[in-house]
A = this chain, B = another copy of it.
């Protein structure tokens, strides 16, 4: 799509969150990954919340829009497809997605409102909350330490969402750093290097030359040098050969 952030971004729905810090940290990581629709259901400490504001690092000013609802039903009213995050099975017959698959499910419904519910810090979502969802989103947590911080749980989802929607942009920033040497440049460098090594008497005994050459080429090719780096190394080889010069002189015969 031309706009990397769809108009149909998933809503992030925090159900009865307790700590303002976690709401703020949620807003921050939403902004990091380009998400704006935050719905807060029945926050324990009310809203607005100073601690949320501090932890948000400016995410609300950036564009995260927080709406508060008294009930989950009200918060979900305009959504058509909703996932519930949980680390434990609920004995309900719903599809179970990992992050990548869940985002696939959300993106396969581009023309409707979609969202993801996250439960409160202590106990997560109630079964009655999960019952309102179309599917379950779960992460591959270690079973012996499975309780994620609320904002971390949102962060994992938000990153996975951005991996599908912002990825192209992210990589573009890093493009064009180098001017990687092509094989011709590399082969010329190898030949120059090997030629000087020949002159220095490095390849001894002579029948070992092929395998020694191959080992050297393997070692250098992994470095994936730029043209500039190739030129620098060739300069170094030249300087070594000229500067010390003994081998060249010795081998004048």
Q: Show the binding face of A for B, using Cβ within 8 Å.
A: 25, 28-29, 31-34, 57-59, 62, 88-89, 91-93, 95-96, 98-100, 136, 138-149, 151-152, 155-156, 159, 162-163, 165-167, 169-171, 173-174, 177-178, 180, 224-226, 229
Contact = CB atoms under 8 A, between A and B. Distances in A.
B144 A62 contact: yes
Given A98-B163, A152-B155, A155-B156, A143 B89 contact: no
Contacts of A145: 31-32, 34, 58-59, 62
B229 A93 contact: yes
Nearest to A173: B89
B29 A173 contact: no
Given A34-B145, A140-B169, 20 more contacts: A25-B149, A28-B152, A29-B149, A32-B147, A32-B152, A62-B144, A88-B173, A93-B177, A93-B178, A93-B226, A96-B177, A98-B163, A98-B170, A138-B173, A138-B174, A141-B162, A142-B166, A149-B151, A152-B155, A155-B156
The quantity of this chain's copies bound in the complex is 2
28 contacts: A28-B149, A31-B145, A32-B141, A32-B146, A32-B147, A32-B152, A33-B140, A33-B142, A34-B142, A57-B149, A58-B145, A88-B173, A89-B174, A92-B177, A93-B177, A93-B225, A95-B224, A98-B170, A99-B163, A100-B163, A138-B170, A139-B162, A139-B170, A140-B167, A140-B170, A142-B162, A156-B156, A159-B159
Contacts of A62: 144-145
